[in-house]
Chain A
Amino acid sequence: MDFTVALAQIKPKLGCVADNLLLIEEAVEQGIREQAGLVVFPELALTGYFLKDLVPEVALPLDAPEIRRLIELSRYISIAVGFVELSREYRFYNSALYLEGGEIRHLHRKVYLPTYGLFDEQRYLAQGDRFRAFDSSFGRMGLLICEDMWHLSAPYILAMDGATTLICLSSSPGRGISQAETLGSTASWQKLTSTTALFLNSRVLYCNRVGYEDGVNFWGGSEVIDPSGAVIARGEILEEDFVLAGISEAALRRERISSPMMRDENLFVTLNELKRIGKERNR
């Protein structure tokens, strides 16, 4: 199905859920005005990124009024949004919701919590334990949160589970200044989103935030990548933006005809070999 996607490249305030909800509502309204079918927000859009000990203070259960408000808005436009989820066992997850038609269609809990360099997620957050594709009005999709995408198996699993659209919510810090045209982190991500789309003959919708937290910049540059790996639309670097792009079903069909790698992908060879590796490691 053809549809318009909006990538809301916003600048959340650190630890201010009420302010960020307003920011999100404004972008949702803009998406509705622009007749987008889906609006995607960054990772932790409701809370900001470097939360540290604020994690328990900003976490929301799935039945929180803020989440209910967004579910309500999804009657008018589908919404993918990141937040800190409070589970019944009092675990805190870096989670993303896909909301559509007034209900939660999918919840993804970030599996790969980076804890190196400037990252410290696993100190504060619990690890998700699955990657599952899900059906939406716009076809079968999969959700990834930032670092998830750097693990080849994650988008692979989603694609093998039938996803043809991969949505990645991100809060990627800009770093690695050099002579190059972009920051090192920008260049790496641009290679990754495009290559992932190319490998899996799938669209990639990548939404990254902007703004600064304690001197760390988030570089934006949100992207819509078509299943051939080509960039259809890209947001401003280091500035707030609202990226709109038309998604074409015909382009997906054509790509899957001309590059049928996903058709030919042998799940059973992969499974057998992974099982063997698993067994050998356990020895």
Chain B
Amino acid sequence: MSELTVNTELLRKVLVGFVRDEVRKVGVRKAVLGLSGGIDSALVAYIAAEALGPENVHAIIMPYRTSNPESEAHARLVGERLGINCQVVEITPMVDAYFTLFPDAGNLRRGNKMSRERMTVLFDHSAALSALVLGTSNKTELLLGYGTLYGDMASALNPIGDIYKSQVWQLSEAMGVPMEIVEKKPSADLWAGQTDEQELGFTYREVDELLYRMVDLRMSRPELALFGFAPEFIDKIYTTVQNSHFKRRLPVIAKVSNRTIDRDFRYARDWGK
């Protein structure tokens, strides 16, 4: 059994408690999240529904014209199973209007724009519904920087940001996320047939085993090599984590005063909560 195997009952309790506590302490009762039809957002919806009650969870499905119709169907399935509020907001008009100004933009720019468009919709609904935006990036994606800065990486609270994709699978199964969602190939669904693992060049299970030992257990390179990880794979992942670190930090501020935000002006976000 993989060392990544977790006690899902305990993990569920911690994450459900997290959403309940951190949402309510800021004085609201609701959460809003984007449902993509994939497993990460489905799991977050399950956690949120249990934490806040389905009536307090607002899911927004935001397809683009090239999105796989199966994604929307899966997102709707999650919404129906949980009895949460579900709404569809097409992002095609906004995204296409923008790219008429930049018709030569490639896949990367278009994918990032879609991701950021979705996040503006979510944060708009955060204000409209008095609800906190829940993040749906897992630890694997965050460490690899496999996400869009100020797009899907943005949120108010992220219940799954400290669990690897392999653990997302386990917890999703334990919480009853529909099996067709648990079992399908992960995809950002930016163009037809895209899969994460094809784009990354390795499987989530492989990289999770490495990341867990590299990050959580702090194993050295020789130790990792002894475990059977190829030196090139270790180097590639280490560099990927390093080069995407900017995505996991606040913007860098030029220091001139004696108390600079986050350097020597340090408060928890739950200050007074």
Contacts and interface: CB of A to CB of B under 8 A. Distances in A.
Nearest to A178: B6
A237 B10 CA distance: 10
B255 interface: no
A213 B1 CA distance: 33
Contacts of B268: 14, 50-52, 54, 213-214
B270 interface: yes
A179 B1 contact: yes
Interface in B241-273: 265-273
Contacts of B66: none
B267 A54 contact: yes
Which range contains the number of B residues in contact with the other chain?
A: 20 to 34
Interface of A (DSSP majority class): loop
A54 B13 CA distance: 30
Given A211-B21, A212-B18, A14 B10 contact: no
Given A15-B272, A16-B272, A52-B266, A177 B18 contact: no
Interface stretch (A163-171, A180-188, A189-197, A245-253): A180-188
B14 interface: yes
Contacts of B18: 212, 215, 217
A53 interface: yes
A14 B272 contact: yes
Given A53-B265, A212-B22, A14 B270 contact: yes
B12 to A, nearest CB: 11
A183 B273 CA distance: 25
A105 interface: no
Interface of B (DSSP majority class): loop
A140 interface: no
B50 to A, nearest CB: 14
Interface string A204-227: 000000011111010000000000
Contacts of B266: 52-53
A177 to B, nearest CB: 5
Q: Which of A14, A50, A177 has the most CB of B within 10 A?
A: A177
Given A16-B272, A53-B266, A217 B17 contact: yes
B14 A180 contact: no
Interface in A230-252: 237-238
B200 interface: no
B100 interface: no
B107 interface: no
A215 B22 contact: yes
B11 interface: yes
Contacts of A215: 18, 22, 157
A180 B18 CA distance: 20
A217 B271 contact: no
A52 B261 CA distance: 13
Contacts of A183: 10, 14
Contacts of A217: 14, 17-18
B6 A14 contact: no
A15 B271 contact: yes
Contact of B21 (A180, A181, A212): A212
A18 B257 CA distance: 32
A177 B21 contact: no
A106 interface: no
Given A15-B272, A183-B14, 15 more contacts: A13-B25, A14-B268, A14-B271, A52-B268, A53-B266, A53-B267, A177-B163, A178-B6, A178-B7, A179-B7, A181-B7, A211-B21, A212-B21, A214-B268, A238-B17
Interface of A: 13-16, 50-54, 174, 177-183, 211-215, 217, 237-238
23 contacts: A14-B272, A15-B272, A50-B268, A50-B270, A51-B268, A52-B268, A53-B266, A53-B267, A54-B268, A54-B271, A177-B7, A178-B3, A178-B6, A179-B1, A179-B5, A179-B6, A181-B10, A212-B22, A213-B268, A213-B270, A215-B22, A215-B157, A237-B13
